[in-house]
Structure 1
Amino acid sequence: MLHTDDKHFAAKACGISESLRLQNVEVFGGYYKYSIYGRYTDEWTLKGENDGDVGNAGFRAHFKYLTLGVDVNSLPFVHSKLTLHSDDSSFYAGTLMGRGEPEIGTLRWISQNKSDIVSEIAVDWQTHLFYRGISAGAKIRNSRLELSGLYLTSDPQNPEKEYYIRDSVSAMVLRSRFATNLGGEILSANYTFADADIYLFGIFHQEQSHKRFLYVPLEFQLNYAQLQWAKEQMAFHLDFIYANAQMDANPDRFYETLAPNRALPPSILKALSFTFLQKAFRVNTDLDATGILGGGKYLWALGSRRSFKPSINLDFYYAHGEVDILRTSETTVLFATSSIDEHFVRKIRSLGTILSPGFEFKFGEHVLFSGGATQIIPFFISYNEIRPGEIYEDAETEAPQGGKAGNNGSKKEEEPQKDGNILGDVPQKTSAAFRNGFAAHFSVSIRF
C-alpha cells in the first residue's frame, strides 16, 4: 500500500467463514490469517509488525420484539448486542458491550547511528479494552433516523515481560444517520464525531524494577460527514473528514517523550558509570489533517441471467495535512545538562483520484465469485518541511544540593527551508504503481 525510502506499510489477510440459519437463529464461524507491517524513518526507524491467526464463532437470534447476538474470537474478544424493536422494525433501541485483550503487535525503535549504546528497542503491545454503547432508530414515513454512541476504555496492565507498552485509553464515538426514500432514490447523510485521550507508556521491567522510557500523552478528535445519493445501479457520494491530534510534553523528570538510555539494564549502566551520556527527548506536537472525497459507482448487470456484474468506482480526493513539532533533545553529563530545541513544520498536500474496478460472477444459484482492486492515482503531491524559528542550545549546570542553575550560553543557527515533491521519494518504476496506494481482494461464496 505504501513503499518509499523512509515509509512502508503493507497488510494482507486470508480467511474462510461459514453461516447456518435455522428458523430464527443464525450460527456463524470463521478462521482468518493476517499480517501487518509498517516502517517509518526519521533519524530513528520505527517498525511495527503483527501477524497471527484468528478464529471466531457466534450466533444471532431473531424474535418478534427482540434480537440478541454474541460474537467470540480468539484475539481474544467478546462482543454482545441486545436490541428491542417493534414488530415492523419502525422503531428500535439497543445496547452493546465488548471486552477483549488483543495483541497490537511488536514495535521496534532502531537507531540510524549503529554506534549508539541503545541501537534497538523492541517492545510488545497488548491492550485490555472494554466498551459499551447504545443505539436507537425510528422510521417516519419514508425516512429513517438512527443515533448511536460508544464509550471505550482500557485497563492498564503490567505483564511479566522485559519490554512492553502499557496504555490508558478513554474514547467516545457518536454517530448519526438520516436517510429518505424519494421515489426509488435513496438520499442519506451521516455524521461521526470521535474524541479520545490516549496515554502510552514504554516500560523496561527487570526483577523488581520498572523504568519508563516512553511517555506519549495524545489527545485526538475526528469529525466525519458524508452525503450519499443512490438509485438502482449507480450511487454518488461526497465525504469530508477533519482530524486533529495534540501531544504536550511534560517537563518533569521521568516523563520524557523518549529516553532510550533508560531502557538499559543495570549491568550496562554500572559499567558505563559517569562517562555515560544521558539522552532524552521531549516532543510537543500539533497535527491537523483535512480530506475531501467525492465520486460515484456504477454497476452493470450482463448475461442472460444477469450473472456477470462488473462495476467501476471512481473517486476524486483532496488531502491536506500539517504537523507542528517542537522537539527538545536533552543530554546530561554528570550535573551538566544541555538541550537543543528544534521547531519545524511539515506540510503535505495531495490531489488525485482513486480507481476501483470490481466484478461479481454468479454460477447458477449456489456459487458467487467476486473480486476487485483499488489504485490511488495522485495528480499532485507537495511536501514541505519548514523551520520558521531557530535552534537554541542551552547548557545548564545544576547544583547537586538544589543550588541555582546557571546558563552557560546559547547557540543559534538558521535552518534552511526544505521544499520538494514527495513523488521523488517513490521509485519511478512500472511496479511502483502497484506498491503505493494499491489493494486487491477476492472472495468465493458457496450457498447450500
Structure 2
Amino acid sequence: MPTATILLNPTETHHSLTIAPPASGVALQGRIRVPGDKSISHRALMLGSIAQGETEIQGLLLGEDPRSTAECFQAMGATISALNTDRVTVQGIGLGNLQEPVDVLNTGNSGTTTRLMLGLLASQPDRFFTVTGDASIRSRPMKRVIQPLQQMGAQIWHRAGGLAPIAVRGQRLQPIHYHSPIASAQVKSCILLAGLLTEGQTTVTEPSLSRDHSERMLRAFGAEITVDPETHSATVTGGATLRGQTVIVPGDISSAAFWLVAGAIVPGSDLVIENVGVNPTRTGILEALAAMGAEITLENQRDAAGEPVADLHVRHSALQACTIAGDLVPRLIDEIPILAVAATVAAGTTVIKDAAELRVKESDRLAVMATQLTQMGAKVTELPDGLEITGGTPLTGTAVDSFTDHRIAMSLAIAALMAQGTTTIQRAEAAAISYPDFVGTLQEICRS
C-alpha cells in the first residue's frame, strides 16, 4: 500500500508539519509505545524532591513540561539527574526543606507544575518565591488554587484576575475542608500538597471524580491519606515523613489516545499500543470510544507500582455518534480534541457538553478545534461548553494551526490522515510538550 507523505519543516521560529495521504489511503500497522504519563512524571519529580533519600523514576516523560518541573525543584535544592534518559534519580531534601530560590521559578508551559507547586510553596514557612511561565501560563486562571490556599492562610500576590506572575511568602497554614466547585486533579493535588506540612487533616471534596495519581503516589511515599469514593473526597494528615521510592511511569493514555482514534478511523489499521496506564480515573477515552463502536481490547493487564497497566489493541471499525457529558468529562478532558476528530467520521451527530474547562487550557481548545476542523470541511458547531459535530463529510487538506497547543497539533495530524489532499499544520513543534517523537512514530506506523 502507498505510504503517506509526512514531513516536518523546521524554520527559525516555528515548525510546520505537512501530511499528504495517498489517494488510495494508508493503513496504520505495528506495535508502538507512547511516552511516560505526564501527570505521573510531574508528581514523581515533585514528591521525590521533597522526600528523604533517593527516588528512582523509570519511564519518565522527557517532554518540556516535566523538564520545567525538574528545573524548578533543582532551583529549590533538590538534586535531579540529567533528563537525557527515561531513568532519572532524585535526591530529595525532605518535607519542609525547599530552599528559597535566588531567581524567579519559571514553569514554562506547564499548568500542572504551576498549580501543584503553589501548594508546596505556600506551606514553606518564612521563604519567598516568585512563579511565572510562558505567555499561555500568564493568561491561565490560577485563582482556582490561590483562593483555597488563602483560606488556609497563605500569603499570595498576583496580577489582576489571579494571573501569573505570582509571589508567595510561605506560612504555617491551617487545615480546611475545601468543597471544590470543579472536578480538577490540579486543584485537589495543590491543596493536598499544602496539607502535607499543615497540622491536622486537610480534605478536598469534588463534585465528581478526577484523576487520582496524587493520592496513589502520596500513599506510596508514606503520606497518611484516605479516600472516600462515595463523596469524591480525599484527606491528608499533615506531618508524615515521605521517603524516596522507585516509581515506574506507565505510558500516557492521553498520548495513546491519538493512536487509538487513528487506529479506529483509518481503514485497514491494526495497532497495539504497549504499556499504557489504565488508571480508572483516566479511562474515559476508552469508554467514549467504546460507546462509538470502536474495537479496542485490553491485553496483558498488570499492575506497575500501584498503577494498572495494559497493552491496548485497536482495529479499524465503523464509528457511531454519541454524547460525551457529565461525570465522564473530567476523565477524558485532555482527550476531547482527538475525540472531536473521531466524531468527524462517525455516523450521526456527536454532542460534547460540560467541557467549558477546555477554554482555559493551553489554548481555547473548543474554539480552536471548531475553527480548524471547519477549515478542513467538517460540520462543527461550537457550544458554550462543548461541540456538536456531524460526521460523514469528507475532510479536505488545507493549512491549519496548532495555536502552540500540543494536543491540537497532534489531533490535527490524525485528522490529516483522513483528508483528501495535503494538510499543513503550523506551529507543529508544540507536540514536543508531551510527545517529543510524535512525528517519528507517525512516520513509522504509516510505512507498514
Q: Higher strand share goes to which structure?
A: 1
Q: Higher helix share goes to which structure?
A: 2
User: TM (normalized to structure 2)?
Assistant: 0.22
Pick the structure with greater CA Rg.
1
Name which structure has the greater RCO, CA cutoff 8 Å, separation 6+: 2
